Every structure is written in C-alpha cells, then in structure tokens.
Amino acid sequence: MNAYPAVDPIPLPAPVWLLKLLHIVTLSLHFVAVEMLLGGLLLAILLSLFGKSANSLVTARALARRLTVVMTFVINLAVPPLLFAQVLYGRALYTSSVLIGLYWIAIVPTLMLVYWLLYKFTARLEAGKSAWWVGLMAWLLAGGVARMLSTNMTLMLRPESWRGMYSASAMGAYLPTGDPTLEPRWLLMMAGGLVIGGLWLVYLAGRSTFTAEEKKFVAGVGGKVAAGFGIVYLAAGLWAASVQPEAVKAGLAGHAVYPAYKFAGFAGYGWIALVVVAVVVGAIAGFGKISAGWLGWAGVLVAVLVEIMLTVYRDGVRDVTLLSKGYDVWDRAVVTNWSVVGLFLVLFVASLGVVGWLVSVVARAQKTMEGAA
Ligand code: HEM
C-alpha cells in the first residue's frame, strides 16, 4: 500500500527543475539568515556575560542591534522555500506537519516571543543593564524552533512511522522517536550558527564605525570562533551523513538506481571543502587580528557557498530517501503556464533587487547611527 495521500489532481504550473531551483536558492538564503541569528545571538550573549573589556560590550551591542533586522530576513526568506517545499513534497510534508500539529502551530507564537525578546535584549544592552538572560531565552526558543523544523523535515521522510503516531494521537500532541538522523541534523544547524556568526564578525570588523583597536578585537573573536567551530561543524556534518540509511548513502554515491543524485553527493564534498576554507579564513582573521575588507567579503562569500552546498546535499538526501520509499518528486504531471512563470520570475528578480537595496539602506543607516553614538 502506498503510504502517501493521493496526489493533488491539479498539475504543477511550472517544471519540477524550476521549482527545485527556486527552492534551493531561497532555502540557502534562509539558512544564511538562520545561522546569523543563532550564532550572532549566542556570541552577543557570551560577550555581554563573560567579556571583560569594553570591546566585548561594543561588539555585543553591534551584533544585538542587527539581530532584529536579521530576524525579519529569517522569516521572509523562510516563506518561499516553505511554499516550494509544499508544492513539491506536499503529500509527505503536510502529513508530517499534521502529525506534530500542536508543536508545528506553536512555532508562530514562539517566533513572536523571540522577536520581542530580541528587542528587549538590544534595549537592555544599550541601556547598560544586564541582558544576557533575556538573550538566552530568545536563543533557547529560536533553537527550539530549529528543533521543530528538523523534526518535521525528518518525519516527512519516514512514512513507515506515520500510522503509529496517528494511532497514538490524532491531535498532533506527540513528537516522533527513534530517528537516528534527527539529533545530528539539528546539531549541524546549531553548530553552523557559530561558524557563520564568526564570519559575520570578521565582515563587521571592517566597518569604519569601530576604532582600530575594536576592529582588531572583533576580527580576533570572530575569526577564532569561526575557525574553532568550523571543525565542530565538519564533525557534525560527517555524523549527520554517516547515520543516513545505506540506500541513501548509495544513492548519493551515484548508485545505478539513482545516478542523477550523484551531483548532490558531490555537493557534500563541496560543503566539506568550503567549511575548510571557512576555517582558514577564520584563522587568518582571528590569529592575525586582520580586519581588512577583502577578508570580510571572502567570509561572506564562503558563508553563502557553504549554505548552498549544504542545501543541495540535503535536498539529495530527501529525494533519495523518498525515492527509496516510493515517492518520486520528478514524477508529477506538469502543465507549465509560461506567462505566469515569466511574470513570477520578473517579480522575483525585482524583489531581490528591492531586498538588496533595503539591506544597503539599513547598512548605511546603521553606520550613521553608530557614527553618531
Ligand atoms: C527562529 C526562526 C527559525 C529558525 C531558527 C529556523 C531554523 C531552521 C532550520 C534549522 C532548518 C533546517 C531543518 C533541517 O532540515 O534539519 C529550517 C528549515 C526550514 N525552515 Fe526555518 N527556521 C526559522 C523560521 C522559519 C519560518 C518562520 C518558516 C516558515 C515560514 C521556516 C521555514 C522553513 C522551511 C520551509 C524549512 C525547510 C525547507 C525544506 O526542507 O524544504 N523557518 N529552518
């Protein structure tokens, strides 16, 4: 018996490859923002709590001031991949979402709370009050949201466990158990936060609003954190890959049944190589205390590429896992509505341009505010 609900009778309005491409692009950007939030927030908390010098507080404030903006990007860059994922994998993703319904719905109020706490954290830091505990609450809740997302994205790959869960509770009150891939996958995202957060500091170190001494401090801390946690990140990634079922490993190695997925397997090696580059960039900035603009931009580039590679590999893991359980994402009726697709692409590119412009306005405003402070 097929475990998946019947396919939607309405055909897809765009080719699968295009939907997948848009999904990977937007999800990679969501991951960059997520990692900046998780890592930047933790660094700001630790610097405000344990930092002994005035430089620590300056760095914590510089991060905190930007986190509420980062949060808007986390959410806005999350909606498009959610929509593309639902179009491509709806029969699996809707099922798993319903099975953990209470927790899934709880993400919305949790996010509102995180947002509010981030504003409180920043305001308390600016006012010179103790803020670490407010930041810590926000970080734990954001980590909880990440956990729910990892839970759902792994449960959607396990149709064999759906019936038992639904029999236990039709209310969506239970979380799945016994999936060896969940823990490493979540830890991978949590560890990645400190790598991307560290690289973010390497980039920020080049800002003219810092004094020469502050720049050295920011580059030193950021670089060392990125380099150190790059190694943890690598270990978490290898762990997450090693616990995948044999069929998935074989599929990503280019097994005859799934030759097309060899590309996703290569992206895994690309991810390893890029994390090594991130470690090197971090080490140069961190131990050399170098705040040069080119190094900051190298960090930004590596961060984006790392997330793209991770997303492609992760997509391969999902497709091969689902294929091994009878769900072929490429096997869908497609009736492309090219005029709508064309309009969508024009608006998509235009909106990316607007987002880029918004980022530049925020960056310039931040510079002016910090210059005035
Ligand atoms: C604090 C806020 C958030 C955090 C920390 C966060 C974190 C994460 C993490 C860790 C993953 C990867 C899960 C895994 O595969 O193991 C993920 C994936 C995802 N997130 Fe977010 N997220 C946040 C907000 C959101 C919001 C608000 C949405 C939806 C509107 C969203 C939509 C998604 C989607 C759709 C995926 C996976 C897409 C796919 O696999 O196709 N996220 N997120």
* pLDDT computed for residue 5 by the predictor: 85
Ligand 1 pocket: which of 30, 68, 74, 156 to mutate (most atoms within 8 A of CB):
30
Which residue lies with its CA nearest to atom 4 of ligand 1? 146
> pLDDT for 173-199, tens place per residue?
999 999 999 999 999 999 999 999 999
Domain residue spans of the chain: 16-327
Cα separation, 155 vs 96, whole angstroms:
6
Which residue lies with its CA nearest to atom 1 of ligand 1? 142
Residue 79 CB–ligand 1 contact under 6 Å: yes
* pLDDT computed for residue 260 by the predictor: 78
For 38, 89, 93, 225, the CA distances from 282, given in Å and listed in that order, are 18, 37, 37, 7
* pLDDT computed for residue 152 by the predictor: 98
> pLDDT for 241-292, tens place per residue?
999 999 999 999 888 777 778 889 999 999 999 999 999 999 999 999 999 9
pLDDT range class, residue 371, cuts 50, 70, 90: low
Find the mean pLDDT for residues 149-176. 95
Residues listed for the chain: 373
> pLDDT for 50-92, tens place per residue?
987 999 999 999 999 999 999 999 999 999 999 999 999 999 9
> pLDDT for 322-358, tens place per residue?
999 999 999 889 999 999 999 999 998 998 899 889 8
Phi-psi region of 177 (alpha: psi -120 to 50; beta: other; left: phi over 0): beta
Chain position carrying tokens 């209310």:
171
* pLDDT computed for residue 373 by the predictor: 59
pLDDT range class, residue 372, cuts 50, 70, 90: low
pLDDT range class, residue 207, cuts 50, 70, 90: confident
Mean of pLDDT over the chain: 94
Percent of the chain with pLDDT over 70: 98
Topology of domain 16-327 in CATH is: Formate dehydrogenase/DMSO reductase fold (1.20.1630)
Whether 136 and 46 have beta carbons less than 8 Å apart is answered as no
* pLDDT computed for residue 340 by the predictor: 93
**300 CA from centroid of ligand 1 (Å):** 21
Residue 156 CB–ligand 1 contact under 6 Å: no
Residue 81 CB–ligand 1 contact under 6 Å: yes
Whether 355 and 347 have beta carbons less than 8 Å apart is answered as no
For 258-287, letters b (16+ CB in 10 Å) and e give beebeebbbbbebbbebbebbbebbbbbbe
> Which residues are CB-neighbours of 18 under 8 A, at least 6 positions away?
341
- 163 CB neighbour count, 10 Å cutoff: 11
Whether 26 and 81 have beta carbons less than 8 Å apart is answered as yes
Nearest atom within ligand 1 for CA of residue 190 = 10
* pLDDT computed for residue 186 by the predictor: 98
Which residue lies with its CA nearest to atom 15 of ligand 1? 150
Residue 87 CB–ligand 1 contact under 6 Å: no
Q: Smallest Cα–Cα separation from 33: which of 369, 311, 296, 315? A: 311
pTM: 0.94
